[in-house]
Chain A
Amino acid sequence: MLIKRKDADAARGRLQALVAGFGSELVDRRSFLRKSGLAAGALAAVGSLSVGAVRRAEAGPTNFGQPIERRKNMCTHCSVGCTVIAEVQNGVWVGQEPAWESPINRGSHCAKGAAIRELVHGDRRLKYPMKLVDGQWRRITWDQAIEEIGDKLMEIRGKSGPDSVFWLGSAKFSNEGAYLNRKLAAFWGTNTSDHQARICHSTTVAGVANTWGYGAMTNSYNDIRNSKTLIIMGGNPAEAHPVSLQHLLAGKEINRANFIVIDPRFTRTAAHATEYVRLRPGTDIPVLYGMLWHIFENGWEDKEFIKARVYGMDEIRKEIAKWTPDEVERVSGVPGEQLKRVAEMFAKQKPATLIWCMGQTQHTVGTANVRASCVLLLATGNVGGPGSGANIFRGHCNVQGATDLGLDVTTLPLYYGLTEAAWKHWCRVWEVDYDWMVSRFASKKAMEQPGIPSTRWFDAVLLPKDQVEQPDNVRAMVVFGHGGNTVTRMPEMVKGLEKLDLLVIADPHPTTFAAVSNRRNGTYLLPMCTQLETSGSRTASNRSLQWGEQIVKPIFESKDDYEVMYLLAKKLGFADKMFRNIKVEGNRPSPEDILREINRGGWSTGYSGQSPERLKAHMKNQEKFDLVTLRAPKDDPEVGGDYYGLPWPCWGSPEIRHPGTPILYNTNLHVKDGGGTFRARFGVERNGATLLAEGSYSMGSELKDGYPEFTLAVLKKLGWDKDLTAAELAMLERVGGSPEGADKVSWATDLSGGIIRVCLEHGVMPYGNAKARAVAWNLPDPIPTHREPIYSPRPDLVAKYPTLPDTRAFRVPNIGFTVQKAVVDKGLAKEFPIILTSGRLVEYEGGGEETRSNKWLAELQQDMFVEINTADAAERGIKDGAWVWVYGAANDARTRVRALVTDRVGKGVAFMPFHFSGWFMGQDQRGNYPKGTDPIVLGESVNTLTTYGYDPVTFMQEPKATLCQIRAA
């Protein structure tokens, strides 16, 4: 493999780039000076020339005399799911070509996708396993690493129980990797298995699922081409999901659609809006209710839709009535007239869609924000059809899939939850004994109790033992593909890191976890390959699954997630059970087999129909799918009638060839064509009112009204059980444990898929046909309620809109109320008069270690910065580009960054991107990275400054609204 360079060369490459200020590379690669012997002889360092020679061999241009292989994978950076086409020669990735045939990106990329080939150049990748010995990084072998890590884990398990190990997974896993990671945690015996969704869309998933059934984007990026009105509220897709703008702008142009951006920042997306609304960070509910106020006041609501498909709208109207234009303006700063205009467009110029991102979710009221957004959609009848819907743009490339596959402290894969029934379901799928599984846990109670979320892991390390609801504190972290700078309150997080007994970082890069603390021992770095160097499926934001093939073999000594999890499972002693039905070649479990296992258990969410064979056929036939509907022509032999990527739910077994569901809850289609209804998930009746749909049903349904979810008993009642095959009935009996027990088996736990199959034959939804809930009585705020941020800039409003009382959840306390009160009492809003919010840059992604190590991207953003309003800057004598100190309102935190003086942010608001790390409170930590693996660009993390505040439903953190002060440095 030419791509595996000698380490010495790699190290020299780093030094050369660093010492020469990145300028010298031009001498080697391009040989600019070759012909002008004078300059080259005098100036080119010998070292750089030799590096150039190595580089050329490794990633030179396409040699047209040699055969070129084209391999398809997907971009690993965001949830849009752009296809990447790699040209490979002799195992080397020599070129990247536009993927014209992909209906999602049609050849396009953003800066990250267009630079993705650099990831497998890997100049700054972690090249071999390492451990920290008395503060020094030492190279070790894989065997040694697995041995030592396994021994230490077993020791902690012995002393403190399985819950003292935190399994932090990744939205960068493939579906198969995510599933395996959750399964690994289950076999280890803990529910503390989380990933990035906690801090991006956990509140969306909770809010949306609690409204109409599933926690996902209802439509697709492509479908936004049908919209006549789009509101983007709390999202900046131009930077976070650039390729999606292709579809959004097409909608804007073709339909002359209203393109409304509601955001505290005048973003790159706002620049293309037809209407820009600036609100104060953290006041989404007042603005949404402000719109609804106008809608109900003027009778613009969709009365028919509400009557047939919505429960509890009247209750909400009482709350909405409080939000008069004056009150909305007082709280959010948005003028009533503008809001009226926007509300009218949204209600009348239909179909209208509401797009949101972390601007809504990352708040202490995140779930409530999302629910209020759903209410707006429901009130205007904008769900369940083309061009409408809740288009929630997920973040990472597979955050949807990783969420679906259970990297979540509250559930097993595919939202089965943690109940005994859920465990039994998965034990049947895994073919392991349920009692054995119970024995893996500290107790049956622990097995059914949600774990500790990633936002609070360090609290679970640092809090007194008696405050953490499990046998002992968290003592070890095993982190796969997750940055360390992603959680708020970093100064406290660093203390947590230092107290851990064991820290395992399995990542292509060392990440902030490796560099930010003063740990001296007990830290292991495992070099993982990217998804480009292995195969597997990933779920884009629109629920489409795409299969990526391996472009090149893992570079250096890196391994893929499957192999490393297998090695760990083997060392921990349960590999034979865990991989019972999964073929393992060498030490690498087959991702195809893992997906088949997911298919066998994933009925609840329709992850059952996407077999590896079907997904591979889709990648092969990409050009056949329609740009707008995403559907292939019915007569195609391989993918006929399918929607691209078989967007879940793709019901039943692969053999029944359900086409997938491009638009959720769309009653205008037959369920066999991807139609559907709102999910009956919350019973059939409440306070005497029906929760089932009234007079609304999906096309071709044999039941012309609402109906509950299906069990064998329901089938029997309808007389449809006759349609079940003998094999299906036998399986139902096996699952139920007895012929009587079989009656209680539901569509979701029926391993035969028979109930689902029969339901589809009769045109009904296996999960029932209910109303969406405007009131979600099981949530802390059944009716979404505005509550000021914990660090509110408006102490005057805190009295009227306080946060919820202190409580305990997820095994740890949530003292938001106490903190909010202290903030008001201490008058912090005066001392820290600027609202601090955070967000994305197009060039970087997530914690940023990977993208800041990519020289093509790093060049474009070389300094961490704070956006400060021109007026605020003038008051402080701060010039554009100057160094400033940004002071946080807690932990005596401060960061040294550059000022970007701009009117993107309004007066009194500052914005910082969240991708930076490697500086901490003014200190450059470049030396803390193992040699040669330090990202090119380092900078302060915004989360050094962010503060306390957690959504009560999911423990989402609040990095979008806190306080700070800025001074010239």
Chain B
Amino acid sequence: MARVKFLCDGDRCIECNACVTACKNENEVPWGINRRRVVTINDGKPGERSISMACMHCTDAPCKAVCPVDCFFTTADGVVLHSKDLCIGCGYCFYACPFGAPQYPRVGNFGSRGKMDKCTYCAGGPEADLTMAEYEKYGANRLAEGKLPLCAEMCSTKALLAGDGEIIAQIYKERVVKRGYGSGAWGWKTAYREGIDV
């Protein structure tokens, strides 16, 4: 079974935000919820790099560990999903998440966070695949259609890679060897407890 991951090649990412709007488009994500975002480090200085970030679908996911109602589950593909029926919007997954992935709709004037929303790796949720109920709560289920997350598929420079971890790591390695430089697989050590050695 594949173990899917995300990898953002910082030497390709140009902060065009296609991944962000592709996500909005595919999953009809509302204003204020950013399942994916692009962060620019060292903005305006030599060495500046932009990294597209969403849920990394961690190995031994911290969100899953800290959830007080145990609403997370990891699919056979390694995608970390959660049930909005069970989620109580406590916000703990956000504290635990190393990548700022969980998002909460603001549903009241104070405090009451709505049910958590996050990147599903375009894999829907616990509902039956490709149903309206699944789409309404979690968005598209491209994995069930045999496709990969739209953010990566539409990436303007093929910086954002999605797919089996070993394959995308191989692609990245080949790139680094060919071009002679690479700023690393951002977040991999934190998410998967392993980097990519080139």
- Write the residues of chain A forming the contact surface with B, with a CB cutoff of 8 angstroms: 17, 22-23, 25-27, 29-36, 39, 42-43, 59-61, 63-64, 95-96, 98, 107-115, 117-118, 238-239, 242-243, 245-246, 249, 252-254, 256, 266, 268-269, 271-272, 276, 842-843, 855-857, 859-860, 902-905
Contacts and interface: CB of A to CB of B under 8 A. Distances in A.
Interface string B116-134: 0100000000000010100
A754 B24 CA distance: 53
B112 interface: yes
A268 B157 CA distance: 13
Interface of B: 11-12, 14-22, 24-26, 28-34, 40, 43-46, 48-50, 84-85, 105-108, 112, 114-115, 117, 130, 132, 135-137, 140, 150, 153-158, 175, 178-180
A238 B16 contact: yes
Given A114-B25, A245-B14, A903-B45, A33 B179 contact: no
Contacts of A107: 153-154
Given A23-B31, A39-B112, A268-B14, A904 B21 contact: no
Contacts of B140: 61, 95
A238 to B, nearest CB: 4
A109 B150 CA distance: 10
A33 B156 CA distance: 34
Given A242-B156, A246-B157, A268-B50, A114 B21 contact: yes
A31 B136 contact: yes
A751 to B, nearest CB: 43
Q: Report which residue of B28, B85, B137, B158 has the largest number of chain A beta carbons within 10 angstroms of its beta carbon.
A: B28
A859 B11 contact: no
B85 A35 contact: yes
A114 B136 contact: no
A435 B30 CA distance: 60
A115 B15 contact: no
Contacts of B153: 98, 107
Contacts of B114: 26, 32-33, 36, 39
Nearest to A903: B44
Q: Report which residue of B18, B40, B140, B154 has the largest number of chain A beta carbons within 10 angstroms of its beta carbon.
A: B154
B107 A842 contact: no
A29 B28 contact: yes
Contacts, number: 178
Contacts of B15: 238, 268, 842
Given A268-B15, A268-B50, A859-B31, 8 more contacts: A26-B114, A108-B158, A110-B156, A111-B17, A111-B21, A242-B14, A256-B179, A905-B44
B154 A843 contact: no
A860 B20 contact: yes
A35 B46 CA distance: 49
Contacts of B12: 249
A110 B17 contact: yes
A242 B157 contact: yes
A900 B150 CA distance: 31
A238 B43 CA distance: 14
A51 to B, nearest CB: 12
Nearest to A117: B25
A903 B42 CA distance: 10
Contact of B33 (A26, A246, A268): A26
Contacts of B45: 266, 903
Nearest to A901: B44
A737 B96 CA distance: 84
A629 B106 CA distance: 51
A111 B135 contact: no
B178 A253 contact: yes
Nearest to A82: B156
A108 B30 contact: no
Contacts of A96: 22, 25-26, 150
A32 B18 contact: no
A117 B28 CA distance: 11
Contact of B14 (A60, A272, A859): A272
B54 to A, nearest CB: 14
Contacts of B179: 252-254, 256
Given A111-B20, A856-B24, A35 B84 contact: yes
